[in-house]
Structure 1
Amino acid sequence: MSLSELPPDLPAPVDDGAADHLIGCQLPAVVLTATGGEQVALAELEGLWVLYVYPMTGRPDEPLPDGWDRIPGARGCTPQACAFRDHHAELQALNAGVYGISTQSVADQYEAKMRLHLPFELLSDTGLLLGRSLQLPTFVITGRVLYRRLTLIADKGRVVKTFYPVFPPDENADQVIHWLRCHTVNAATVRDGRT
């Protein structure tokens, strides 16, 4: 099956409460390397940012780990990335930047960015610096610690919304855009004194 397709019988992840503490958290003083080579200091991000955290993007020249499709929430990184790619203009219109974050190497992420034609950068967190700072949920497969899929919306460096668990992953960009539109409308209403 293509990496861009989702099997019809994927097990859905359940909300185990592992992201409940994130609302209101400040982005930590963590610096991650982007696929373009620049260093991104998360604590210094200004404005509105969508940070989608994912386990790993598969490569067409390498098999997925044994049992990957049976791990709830593991499969779907490529469809999720492609959805954020396809909705990138809408996110820009909402003044939201996008970063994808995983524990994969910059080289693996660069391969995915080029192959999938992503208009945004992927950030490499091989040392799980963000995960340790924010106590992000993880799982282990074939001896590797990977992030569970979740999406954070940060405004002025503070987490204002989380999506966890994310399922199905190819609908996450739509969910984020819907929330941002409602959030923007509500903020404008309050500013203008309307109810």
Structure 2
Amino acid sequence: MSANLFQLPMDLPVPVDDGAAAHLEQVLLPCISLPSTDGTTVNLAAMEGQWVIYVYPMTGRPGLPLPDGWDAIPGARGCTPQSCGFRDHYKELKQLRSGVFGLSTQTSEYQREARDRLHLPFQLLSDSLLQLKHSLHLPTFTAAGMELFKRMTLIVQQGRIKKVFYPVFPPDRNADDVLAWLRTDSQPDVTGDAPLAVRP
């Protein structure tokens, strides 16, 4: 029987801060181009303005079971509610001059199904080669033979990581936490009404 992807179990284990993201603040994004669900590529180092990049393990699909033991892995469950949170707060994020990307190790084809089914107004980036694991030392875990990113959210301003949310829990409140931080933090030195991404 497949799980209800929109509802989080009450007894999910809470992830602990293992220090695996402590090195990321103030780090510049690497010159890596990742495929996007709109068919373009995004050069992370060339991103202008302010962006929220939420890094997640994987979205489930209706009718398909999640990997065995998925709910018992701290921080694994909740990619669909997290994505829906950023969808529901997308207009507020745009008002704060912030763009949004989701990022995972799934292929763009796999991600496109989730984007369309969940009616996400933003794109998802595919790092199926785990380039960010090697360039930024992003933490990963293994489930069902797949190496997946641990859940974290990055606030990027002019290509530099300004803020890291790690661990992220509960995932369905991540967008609210990001908005709260953006509203209290001093606004970045960016121009224009919307963020820009340079796509080679």
Q: TM-score, normalised by structure 1?
A: 0.94
Match of 1:54 among 45, 49, 56: 56
Structure 1 equivalent of residue 74 of structure 2: 72
Provide structure 1 residue ranges, at least 5 long, that are not aligned to the other structure: 188-195
| Whole-angstrom CA distance in 2 between matches of 1:89 and 1:53 | 20
Contact 2:93 2:179 in 1 (8 A): yes
Structure 2 equivalent of residue 190 of structure 1: none
Match of 1:183 among 146, 171, 185: 185
Question: When you count helix as a share of all residues, which structure comes out higher?
Answer: 1
Match of 1:40 among 39, 42, 48: 42
| Whole-angstrom CA distance in 2 between matches of 1:179 and 1:48 | 13
Structure 2 equivalent of residue 150 of structure 1: 152
| Whole-angstrom CA distance in 2 between matches of 1:128 and 1:2 | 28
| Whole-angstrom CA distance in 1 between matches of 2:134 and 2:178 | 24
Counterpart residue type for residue 134 of structure 2: R
Structure 1 equivalent of residue 4 of structure 2: 2
| Whole-angstrom CA distance in 1 between matches of 2:108 and 2:172 | 23
Q: Secondary structure at the match of 1:114?
A: helix
Q: RMSD over aligned Cα, in angstroms?
A: 1.2
Q: Counterparts in 2 of 1:35-184, with a 5 A limit?
A: 35-184=37-186
Counterpart residue type for residue 116 of structure 2: M
Q: Secondary structure at the match of 1:151?
A: strand
Q: Secondary structure at the match of 1:74?
A: coil
Deviations 1:15-59 (A, max 9, x none): 000000000100001110011100100000000000000000001
Greater shift, 124-133 or 74-83, is seen at 124-133
| C-alpha deviation, 1:130, in angstroms | 1.6
* Count of aligned pairs between the two proteins: 187
Counterpart residue type for residue 104 of structure 1: Q
Q: Which runs of 4+ in 1 moved over 6 A?
A: none
Structure 2 equivalent of residue 191 of structure 1: none
| C-alpha deviation, 1:112, in angstroms | 0.1
| C-alpha deviation, 1:61, in angstroms | 3.0
Counterpart residue type for residue 115 of structure 2: K
Q: Secondary structure at the match of 1:184?
A: coil
Q: TM-score, normalised by structure 2?
A: 0.91
Match of 1:17 among 5, 19, 36: 19
| C-alpha deviation, 1:131, in angstroms | 2.0
| C-alpha deviation, 1:185, in angstroms | 6.2
| C-alpha deviation, 1:62, in angstroms | 1.8
Match of 1:27 among 26, 29, 32: 29
